[in-house]
Structure 1
Amino acid sequence: MEMKSKESKVENNFFSRLFEEAEKDSKFHAETLKIEIAEQIFCAMERKNLNRAQLAEKLGLDKSYISKVLKGNINLTIETIAKIGKELEAAWTIKLEDKPREEISPYKDWTAARIFDMDTSVKYSENAAITV
C-alpha cells in the first residue's frame, strides 16, 4: 500500500511538471482553445438534436470535416466558426480576460473532450468549460 502511494505521488509530480512546461507553449493554449470551441459546438449540436451529418449538410461540408472539428483536429477560421454558430442558431461569446497567474492552467476545469470518441453515447454538460 505504501509503495502505491509513493508511485502515485511521483506520477502526480511528473504530470504537474509536464503541464507547467506545456503551459509555456502557445501551441498548448491554441489546442486548448480548439477543444473549447469543439466542446461548445458539440453541446449546441446536442441541444438542437443534430448529428455530424446533419450539421455538415447545413454547412455544405463533408461529415469527416465536422468529425475533425469536434475532435479539435482542425484550425477553424473565424468565418467558419461564425457560419457554424449561424447554422446552429447560436451566438458566440468571446472574452479575453486577465487572470491571476495561478488560474491560467487549462487543466483547472479540464474535461474529457480531447480524449473521447464523438461516436460514443456519452453526454457532456453544456456548462462544461475550460478556463484559459
Structure 2
Amino acid sequence: MSSALRLYSYPQCGTCRKALQWLAQQGFSVQEGTLELVDITQQPPSLAELTRAFEALGRKRLFNTSGQSYRALGSATVAAMSDQDALVALAADGKLIKRPFAITPSGAALVGFKPEEWQAALQS
C-alpha cells in the first residue's frame, strides 16, 4: 500500500474543495507526499480500487446520482446493470463516481465527504 492518501476529486466540485481544505488542516499535503491528488475526470479510480470500495460500501454509495453522466444513463439503466457492468462503467467515466473518492494508506475506500467518517478511517 502507498503511504499517501490518494484523493480522486474534480476541481469544480465544492465538496471536493471542502475535503481538500479539511485534509490540509489534518496535515495532508501534496508537497510533503502525504496526499496524492488525482483529477477523477482525467484518471478515474482503477477497477481494483472500485471493487474494494464496492465490497466495503455497496453499489449505491459509489454512484454520483446527481451528475450529468448518471442522468444521461438513466437510473433504470444503472439499476439493470450487473455489478460487474456497473464497476466497468464507473471505471470508464469518473463523473459517474460520487466525489470525492479516496483510498487511504491502509487501502480503505472513502466516498463523499463526511468529516467524522474520514477522521475515523484515517486514524485506523
Report the TM range for the smaller structure's normalisation.
under 0.3
TM-score, with length taken from structure 1: 0.24
Question: For the pair shown, which has the larger CA radius of gyration, 1 or 2?
Answer: 1
- Structure with more relative contact order (C-alpha pairs < 8 Å, separation 6 or more): 2
TM-score, with length taken from structure 2: 0.25
**Structure with the largest fraction of strand:** 2
